[in-house]
Amino acid sequence: MIRSSAKYALITWSIILSSAAMADGKVTVFAAASLTNALTEVSASYEANENGKVSSAYASSSILAKQIENGAPADIFISADSKWMNYLQEKKLINNASRKDLLGNKLVLIAPKGRGFNVKLDKSFDLAKSFDGKLCTGDIDSVPAGIYAKQSLTYLNWWDSIKTRIVGAQNVRAALAFVERGECVAGIVYETDAKISTKVEIVATFPEQSHVPIVYPIAIVSNANLASTNKLANDYLNYLQSPNAIAIFKKYGFSILH
């Protein structure tokens, strides 16, 4: 049975984590799950080179945005799409002047390692007949990867025939894990997620025109209103655009947008 971790436990833990981080003078970063590996390495580099401390919470952009709306004291938010950053901006919960489009990514179709299948990226191709079983991606209504996935499947005229077999996970890393374990025989995730796994293979890369551009915007959260916290947030935001950080993001396969 396909299961995901409890959302509310994640929310509670993230808030506790953030509160403790602020009390200790750390910068608290809420970031999309797909950034876990790259941003963890960037933060380690920041701590080694800038003498600052970073506390991070990774989850779906939608969950993190809702946490911030509900008062979680994050300093920095990095979303996997513009939608959830716009959501916070409309509610005046980010510093608009600090907002930047930081990274880009690609969307890929994956299968468990050694169980790939042939796919033709054409509107006349019948994806539903190319494999048996479930297709995992992010929740198609709220998780950025799932939203992009539905756009691509719709663009290729594959949506109607495959939609009843889609499993929507609470974030893209959960979708990746389901495919790694063979609980789903296909998945739609970001290229950077697929590349960090030794248990999946990329079957196809979706055309860029099949979905809105995959953009990772970053901004300082307006809850971060203490002078000391704002300085830490600005320092960290600037470091994310430094040559050291850019090299790490590129290593993991992200494109640089700023």
pLDDT tens for 37-73 read 999 999 999 999 887 899 999 999 999 999 999 999 8
Taking residues 236-243, what's their average pLDDT?
96
pLDDT of 3 above 70: no
* Model pTM score: 0.88
pLDDT interval class at 24 (50, 70, 90): low
Give pLDDT tens digits for 129-149. 999 999 999 999 999 999 999
pLDDT digits (tens, 9 = 90+) for 79-138: 999 999 999 999 999 999 999 999 999 999 999 999 999 999 999 999 999 999 999 999
**Distance, CA of 26 to CA of 20 (rounded, Å):** 9
Q: What structural domains does the chain harbor?
A: 7-104+216-256 (3.40.190.10), 107-210 (3.40.190.10)
Q: Which two tokens stand for residue 2?
A: 């396909």
Q: Where are the alpha helices (DSSP H) in the chain?
A: 7-23, 36-50, 61-69, 82-90, 144-155, 159-162, 172-180, 191-196, 227-239, 243-251
